[in-house]
Amino acid sequence: MQSDNLVPASEIEQETGLGKELLRKWRQRYGFPPLETGANGKVGYSRESIQLLLLIKRLLEGGFRPAQIVGRPPLEIERLSRAIDADPRDTSLTESTRRLLERLKKTDISGLVSLMAKERAKGTLSDFVLNTVVPLISGVGEAWSTKEIEVYHEHLCTCVIQRLLQAEILFCPPRRGFPKIIFATPPQELHALGLLMAEAVLADHGATTICLGSHTPFSDIKMAAISCNADVVALSFSFSFPARNVRPTLKHLRHLLPANVELWAGGSGVSSVRRPPNGIRVFSNIQDAVPMMLNLVKRRRS
């Protein structure tokens, strides 16, 4: 029986065709769909979540992978659903991603590292992040959601990527006149891989980068920005960060930072921010950060 306009978890598969265990994994990884508690204390899914799940199911049937759509803002899900017939896309894994996943599934860490080193040698560090790391992360998410790999496989892969990127960043020479950027995630945000990827891309393009890591107190970010004479503070938000807290977090940190320090925010968690607060620049795609930095260089030289 439904109450408070919530659909009980026991009825979710009948309503959407998606199993409880699958939704539990999505909730753990993407923060969606949320379980809500009604006035009578019963737990279930809202009608809004049910409608989004139905649209997501249609997109999955149309060839999308969970990592591409689960947790996206409702308006984006609706747009993709409307466009799926008119705008088909190839969501198949690249050959390099497929080979990397095979090594991961076998827990062949040395083989995984060797293959990633070969991919890295094919181009710039930015190329490696965009053409190898991003597709691999998406592929890992898909493999995990379909039970082809376990959670520990994902952790192993993340650690390999982090170590490789950290080592590569050390060899990126800063360019004269390019900004000094502090990278961090705010309190309660524990996912730092996206942060590291953005740091790698911007370091590759000439920025001086300083990474404070994940779950960093606001006071520490402020003090680091001042003591390091930073030009920019760049925050990363994942899907798991509560969407309702993104804007307040950005506004609070903007208030703390000196006016001459720019505040940037990136990651999948900022896609719900349609109109960034004053004094804050937002990007959801790593590639968008590069022209932002180049524009900053141009503005400060003029």
Distance CA 232, CA 295 (A): 13
Tokens matching residue 176: 């004269």
- pLDDT tens-place string over residues 223-279: 999 999 999 999 999 866 777 889 999 999 999 999 999 999 998 788 767 788 889
Q: What distance in Å separates the CA atoms of residue 120 and residue 171, rounded to the nearest whole number? A: 14
pLDDT exceeds 90 at position 145: no
At residue 88, the pLDDT reads 42
Is residue 26 a contact partner of residue 32, using CB atoms and an 8 Å limit?
yes
Q: Which of 68-77, 112-121, 155-164 has the lowest mean pLDDT?
A: 68-77
Q: Do residues 67 and 83 make contact, with C-beta atoms less than 8 angstroms apart?
A: no
Neighbours of 169 (CB within 10 A): 17
Q: What is the pTM of this model?
A: 0.73
Band (pLDDT 50/70/90 cuts) for residue 82 is low
Q: Are strands 262-266 and 180-184 parallel, antiparallel or unpaired?
A: unpaired
Residue 100: the pLDDT is: 97
pLDDT digit string, tens, across residues 150-190: 889 989 999 999 999 999 999 999 999 999 999 999 998 98
What is the structure's pLDDT at 63? Answer: 72
- Tens digit of each residue's pLDDT (9 = 90 or more) over 196-207: 999 999 999 999
**Which percentage of the chain shows pLDDT scores above 70?**
93
Task: Name, in order, each residue with C-beta under 8 angstroms of 286's C-beta and a sequence gap of 6 or more.
Answer: 129, 130, 134, 194, 197, 198, 201, 266
Q: How far is CA 239 from CA 194, 195, 245, 292, in A?
A: 11, 13, 12, 23
Report pLDDT for 19. 83
Given a cut of 60, is residue 91 above it in pLDDT? no
Share of the chain above pLDDT 90, in %: 51
- CATH numbers and ranges of domains, the chain: 6-83 (1.10.1660.10), 95-170 (1.10.1240.10), 180-301 (3.40.50.280)
Give the C-alpha separation, 199 to 205, whole Å.
Answer: 10
CB 263 within 8 Å of CB 281 = yes
Q: Are strands 208-213 and 262-266 parallel, antiparallel or unpaired?
A: unpaired
What length is written for the chain? 302
Taking only the tens place, the pLDDT of each residue in 220-236 is 999 999 999 999 999 99
Tell me the pLDDT tens digit for each residue of 126-136.
Answer: 999 999 999 99
Report the pLDDT averaged over residues 206-227: 97
